[in-house]
Structure 1
Amino acid sequence: MNQVKKSAIGAAFVLSLITALFVSRSIASKKQDHPGGGNGFAVLELFTSEGCSSCPPADALLARIQQEAGNKPIYILAYHVDYWNRLGWKDIFSNPQYSKRQYQYSEQLTGQVYTPQLVINGKSSCIGSDESAVNSGLSEALSGATGLGLDIKGQLQPGKVKLNYQLTGDARNTELLIAVVQKHAVSKVARGENEGRTLSHVQIVRDLQTFRVGADRQGSVQITLPGDFTTQEWELIGMIQQPKTGVMEAATRVVVSQ
């Protein structure tokens, strides 16, 4: 009788051990499927131009990512560079400031300047229309982690907005960037490589302001807004960036109130 009990107890122990190993492997597998599991975010900066025939597919890809993002911390910024303007069509959204920003990234990253180029969190870049590379970079960014928290609230005033920001974590040697973004626009291109085409754009950066972060990791700044700014058709995106390396440390959408 004792031998039977011992056999039963032994069998139960082996079964429980097998079950524990199975559960452990299942949990490990789930952790691999969702690496990081932290507070990652993705700032996708596309350098594009209406004068570039290779750019519309990149614009379309980012539009799809924007549509599918939901509540994920994905921040899309489309910078229209000006160096294509001399080739037959002047992009009305272009700005030499954005070309300069792209050249700065080229010094910090690959040394290459081209359109459509996508920079992800200031850490890596790829061809903006390469869906596989873009999705891979996006997934890696979201599965990462950040030691900084950023909160910005905006108060609308006639022709401008006052922004109050607060940081948590180590924000030494960083800058606060505020992008004024037009969510959507359509252009009919009359000349250049895209002659005769109607182009649809999303997340067009119309202004980019840079501020030093205060020693106490909080402060107030003020920026001028476009005359046609509305909270429905525009948005403000705040970012914390290391100016020397280009690495993005945090990002958020600005909560704007009247």
Structure 2
Amino acid sequence: MTTLRARMGALLLLLALAAPAFAEATARPVGVVELFTSQGCSSCPPADALLAELAGRDDVVALSYHVDYWDYLGWKDTLATPENTARQRAYGAALDRPVYTPQVVINGHRDAVGSNRKAILAALDRPESGALSVDIALSARNGSIFVDIGAAAGPAAAGLADAHVIVVYYKSSEVVSIESGENRGRSVDYRNVVTGFQTVGMWHGDSMRLELPKSEIVRKGGRCAVLVQAFDAEGRPGIILGAAHSGFDW
């Protein structure tokens, strides 16, 4: 009996070592909400609060991109980057819309005012065909993060193969005391603050696995989201076919 117990214990230990740590749930999110905001925009705090609420949902990938084009109003946004502004302008070109704050883009192909709760929730409840139809799972082991992307699910996703695989780095929270400009005197707790993003590969409609260095995610805020997003021939972003996020610091 002692020998059998010892063998069973050894077997369980081997299984535990073989399994990836921090395995993410494979449940597909209902939507990706990308908010473009600015600390210098007096209309943005209600949108920032709504984004924070959405960031608390497990079934939504909520990301906050701070832009820099309102810095001249008297307060330089401490979280803004030119890359965030460029992503919003690319969306503006793709959607044939002027850029503004607060603006949200939902699933890469529909925009709304960032504080318009009714419009945003309606878009999340009724995603268009092809949106988030591809499964993505994240897991970690040792010093690596593994991204497992499923095959195209249905003709809508298959027709948009050759999509970009984008890793979005973010930090879960950043409290900023704004000392001048339109929001002077406010202290805002920003959630899911994007610190950078990059294309790390291409998805051609078949299942695939990517390996990312965990240290890079830790260095850039501790959390990440992965988006599989279609782009047109001119490099403008389109519908997001799949998404996943860690929901915790790696």
Q: What is the TM-score when the length of structure 2 is the normalising length?
A: 0.74
After TM superposition, give the deviation of residue 225 of structure 1 in Å: 3.4
Structure 1 unmatched ranges of 5 or more: 1-37
**1:196 lines up with 2:188 in the alignment:** no
Single out whichever of 215-224 and 57-66 deviates more from structure 2. Answer: 215-224
2:83 is equivalent to residue 97 of structure 1: yes
Query: What secondary structure, in the 3-state scheme, does the structure 1 residue paired with 2:150 have?
Result: strand
Secondary structure at 1:90 match in 2: coil
Determine if contact 2:36/2:64 at 8 Å carries over to the other structure.
yes
1:251 aligns with 2:240: no
Distance 1:40 1:197, change over 3 A: closer
Query: Identity percentage over the alignment?
Result: 31
Q: Aligned AA for 1:243?
A: F
Aligned match for 1:168, one of 151, 159, 162 = 151
Matches within 5 A, 1:1-258: 41-67=30-56, 69=57, 71=58, 73-141=59-127, 146-155=132-141, 157=143, 161-169=144-152, 170=158, 172-213=161-202, 217-222=207-212, 224-227=216-219, 229=221, 234-244=222-232, 245-254=237-246
Q: State the Cα deviation string for residues 167-190 of structure 1 (Å, max 9, x = none).
A: 322472101111112111111011
Q: Residue 17 of structure 1 aligns with which residue?
A: none
**Residue type of the alignment partner of 1:77:** L
Measured after TM superposition, the shift of residue 256 of structure 1 is 8.4
Q: Distance in 1 between matches of 2:220 and 2:142?
A: 13
Kindly provide the amino acid, as one letter, of the partner of residue 249 in structure 1: L
Q: CA deviation at 1:112?
A: 1.2
Shift of 1:213: 1.8
Contact 1:154 1:256 (C-alpha < 8 Å) held by counterparts: no
| C-alpha displacement of 1:111 | 2.0
Q: Is the 8 A contact 1:122 1:248 kept in 2?
A: yes
Cα distance, 1:151 vs structure 2: 2.2
Query: Residues 39-66 of structure 1: CA distance to partner in whole angstroms, max 9, x if unpaired?
Result: 6620000000101110000011122233
Alpha-carbon distance between aligned partners in 2 of 1:255 and 1:137, rounded to the nearest angstrom: 22
Q: Retained in 2: the 8 A contact 1:152–1:255? A: no
Alpha-carbon separation, structure 2, partners of 1:74 and 1:134: 11
- 1:166 deviates by 3.0
SS at match of 2:96: coil
In structure 2, list runs of 5 or more residues that go unmatched: 1-26, 153-157
| Aligned residues between the structures | 211
Higher Cα Rg: structure 1 or 2?
1
| Structure 1 letter corresponding to 2:210 | S
TM-score, normalization by structure 1:
0.72
- Structure 2 SS opposite 1:211: strand
Structure 2 Cα separation of the partners of residues 200 and 256 of structure 1:
17
Q: Distance in 2 between matches of 1:143 and 1:153?
A: 28
CA spacing shift, 1:228–1:178, aligned 2, 3 Å: closer
In structure 1, distance between residues paired with 2:197 and 2:220: 17
Give the RMSD, CA atoms, in angstroms: 2.8
